[in-house]
Chains A and B, each alone.
Chain A
Amino acid sequence: MKFALAGNPNSGKTTLFNALTGSTAHVGNWPGVTVDKRVGMYKKLGEQIEIVDLPGIYSMSPYTPEEVVSRNFMLEDKPDGIINIVDVTNLERNLYLTTQLLELDTPIIVALNMSDLLAKSGATVDIAKLEKALGVPCVEISALKGNNLQDLMKKAVAATKEKRIGWSVVKDSMITDLYNEVIGLYESTDMTDKAFHAVKMIENDELEIVHNLEIQEKVNLLKEDVDTGIFQGDYEGVVADARYKNITAHYSSALVKKENTGLSTSEKVDRVMTHRIWSIPIFLLIMFGVFHMTFSENLFYLGGLIPDSFDSAIFGSGKINSPGIILTNILGLGTGWIDGLISNALPAGTWYTGLIYNGIWGGVSAVLGFLMQILTLYFFIAILEDSGYMARVAFILDRAFRRMGLSGKAFMPLVMCFGCAIPGIMGTKTLENDAERRRTIMLTPFFSCGAKLPIWAAFGAVFAAQYSGINAEFLVFGTYIFGIAIAIIASFILKNTIVKGDTQPFIMELPTYHSPQARNITVLLWDKLKHYIKKVTTVIVGAIIVLWVLQSFNFRFEMVTDSAESIIGTIGRGISWLFVPLGFGMGENGWIFVVAAITGLIAKEMVVGTLGLFGGIEGAEGIEAGEIVGTSLGVLMLGIGGTIGGVSVAIPAMLSYMAFNLLSVPCMAAVAAAAGELNSRKHTWITIAFWMITSYLCSLVIFWLGTLIAWNPIIGISVAVALVIIIVGAIIIREKRNSRKALALL
């Protein structure tokens, strides 16, 4: 037996699905689109009941992939029954979808969720009245508390035993006659769900029309005699109006509210969180808190209070680490232990030791190195999401994001990219518009991810030790800011050039605040973790093995001792001239940096390791940035870029190198994720090309500007300032022109 679970977003669908199916759920994709499909089993009634979680929708209109997926499933896959979950505290809007589901011939049961909240507010719902008006069974439940779920499922099973014929509220509306005639036209066919099809036909629904062109002709003739009043022939409007009128007339009275006593808690919270002045500082503070808890090694800046003698491999030394770092340390102890086991078990110097230890295990442990930080970041973001705050963030930021051709909803996926671009790219699912989603995906590398941090840290440590003017922390922080600045500029350029596209409407529900639920968050984290591990183990580990082969063998497939002779070394030397204009390809060791950058395109966690490999340090990816100073690797890094006219250009070349690593293709796993979300080979290639071109151009500019500044600070800085003015000016002028055009259109 198979049930579909349908309902509005925020109605508690996920909570109910998790409560019913427990650990049996598995996540997949609906064919052809990137909408999640979740299927699970309900086992408590003895028989096997399959539950398919449809995406949360407000309507069965043909416009969003979620709506089309749900619709096709109900019409074609024909579940035995539909469980329509309804937020009883928000009955009016939720029943709008119910009036559409009632048009299907499938048995339906309405689950009135959040009944605990209703009871708390002192309101009651008249079930008998509601059942009579809807003609289907209704059950009050609390998905969160688990109340009445068994009752719901029993009644759902019972409902499937009776045959049901769909009906529409349109039968009592301003177009009653038209509806009856159209239903008549469908009577002569052998189609099921006649009421549904008839209403869709009246609405001029594009998916309905293509299948029934003859009926459409007749309906168009019938419509000529109908007066639709203020709707002036807009039948979608007429039908929507009929639904809401019907709901207000029949069902609203089933809800008995207590006299309204002032503001609800949610409204009070919202007053502060989206306050005209305070909302932005609060938002910045929350985001700072999230990052602090995830990445900081000095939690709450308590370092000064902690005695230097405090020294723990897990909690930090002389200061306390943030939860993100503590978890990373714990996992690090585990991987360190496994590392020892593997290296002891394998004989040194054989090819398979290289493959297993340096190749496979090296890749896995590099990924595990920042897994915990990603999870911690995800954890906090999931709390913000589940509580309802993320919708407010979109509300607060939309204006700013919209100027860049993005929507406020792009904030969450982009913030995830500071952890890892892959969940960020997967998170763009929530963006409705294709152009917006494409633009957002193209910006993802610019938000420096966890795998890139070791690169910044290594260069920061080495250069700060050599040059008194450089501060390592400032350099790392600056890289993050630089990435954000490039993302802003790039988004302006994208929306005016290669990914044009209408700005999408922004019409979004602001759900009531809820205290976040441990169960929802664990399920979400577990889902993400599984997804992530799958991606990582397939793509990253595969890529790292390929890389190991490229580093260990030459073109005749003989194992080499000097990596310079390897396939990738040969290629690197062959193409390093391409990177001479960027500075870091210059000098006798230029090719090494090129090779490391290329391995970075496959997986960024490999960059430092590759530099170490050629710089004479095994396992450089595992050591602390500070320990690189003074080693042969450190010397190699300081020599980046060589000299021009006898003067070292190490600093501009280093900056150019960092920019290149930051802005170029993040890793093969991210490319695979992007290809999955873009769902188009062409757009995937455009995205890759955009990353490569952006990184090349930015590095080029940085290197030559930096060299100019080193040669003559006054001229160099003037040119830099002029460049910034030109870019900002061009954006402002363009924006002015765009808004004038928009005005002219109105």
Chain B
Amino acid sequence: MEKLLKDFRPGEIGMVRNVKADGKIRRRLFDMGVTPGAEIMLRKVAPLGDPIQISLRGYELTLRKTEAETVIMEVSE
């Protein structure tokens, strides 16, 4: 099933299917390891509701929901 990374709940795990952002943001996400096939777990949401913290490739990354909205994930039901 397809789901946006933005809509993940804490603890939810999925695999990146595609990244829809443009230009610099897209490149930045790729550079940080958010590439198709990468496994991502949503670790937590910041106290004010944004940004989010994800765990991938053995490290922790934070990004805003506006960026997470462009990451299309594959999750098993």
A residues contacting B by CB (< 8 A) are 58-59, 61, 63, 89-93, 96, 230, 234, 236-237, 240-241, 244-245, 270, 274-277, 279-280, 391, 394-396, 398-400, 402, 505-512
Contacts and interface: CB of A to CB of B under 8 A. Distances in A.
Nearest to A232: B18
A391 B59 CA distance: 14
Given A240-B31, A398-B51, A510 B62 contact: yes
Interface in B39-63: 44-51, 53, 57-63
A506 B26 contact: no
Contacts of B45: 276
Contacts of A270: 60
A241 B44 contact: no
Contact of B64 (A91, A230, A237, A505): A505
Contacts of A505: 24-25, 28, 63-64, 67
B37 A237 contact: no
B47 A396 contact: yes
Given A90-B58, A90-B59, A96 B33 contact: yes
A260 to B, nearest CB: 11
B46 to A, nearest CB: 6
A96 B51 contact: no
Nearest to A100: B31
Contacts, number: 119
B27 interface: yes
A591 B62 CA distance: 54
A509 B60 contact: yes
A276 B47 contact: yes
B35 A93 contact: no
Contacts of B24: 63, 505
Contacts of B63: 505-508
Nearest to B72: A230
A395 B53 contact: yes
Contact of B61 (A241, A275, A510): A510
Contacts of B61: 507-510
Given A96-B31, A505-B64, A510-B61, A237 B25 contact: no
18 contacts: A89-B58, A92-B58, A93-B58, A96-B31, A240-B27, A240-B30, A276-B45, A280-B47, A391-B62, A398-B48, A506-B62, A506-B64, A507-B25, A508-B61, A508-B62, A509-B59, A510-B61, A511-B60
A245 B63 CA distance: 23
A274 B44 contact: yes
Size category of the B interface is 35 or more
Interface of B: 17-19, 24-33, 35-38, 44-51, 53, 57-64, 67
B31 to A, nearest CB: 4
Contacts of A58: 31-32
Contact of B47 (A92, A230, A279, A511): A279
Given A90-B59, A241-B37, A507-B63, A236 B27 contact: yes
B32 A93 contact: yes
Contacts of A398: 46, 48, 50-51, 62, 64
Contacts of A399: 46, 48-51
A396 B36 CA distance: 28
A263 B36 CA distance: 27
A398 B31 CA distance: 22
A394 B64 CA distance: 12
B46 A395 contact: yes
Given A58-B32, A61-B27, A230 B18 contact: yes
B57 A509 contact: no
A96 B18 CA distance: 19
Contacts of A394: 62
B58 A91 contact: yes
B48 A395 contact: no
A237 B47 contact: no
Given A236-B26, A237-B35, A398-B48, 15 more contacts: A59-B31, A89-B58, A230-B17, A230-B36, A244-B33, A270-B60, A274-B46, A276-B47, A279-B47, A395-B46, A398-B46, A505-B28, A505-B63, A506-B63, A507-B67
Contacts of B36: 230, 237, 241
Nearest to B38: A244
Contacts of A234: 26
B74 to A, nearest CB: 12
B60 A237 contact: no
B77 to A, nearest CB: 22
A438 B11 CA distance: 38
A562 B75 CA distance: 82
Given A241-B37, A506-B63, A508-B62, A274 B53 contact: yes
A511 B58 CA distance: 11
A92 B33 contact: yes
From A59, A391, A400, A510, residue with most partner B Cβ within 10 Å? A510
Given A505-B64, A505-B67, A510-B53, A241 B46 contact: no
A713 B26 CA distance: 57
Contacts of B19: 237
Given A93-B57, A230-B18, A244-B35, A277 B47 contact: yes
Contacts of B38: 244
A89 B60 CA distance: 12
Nearest to A401: B48
Contact of B48 (A93, A96, A230, A400): A400
A230 B18 CA distance: 7
A396 B49 CA distance: 9
A511 B28 CA distance: 17
B70 to A, nearest CB: 10
Contacts of B51: 395, 398-399, 506
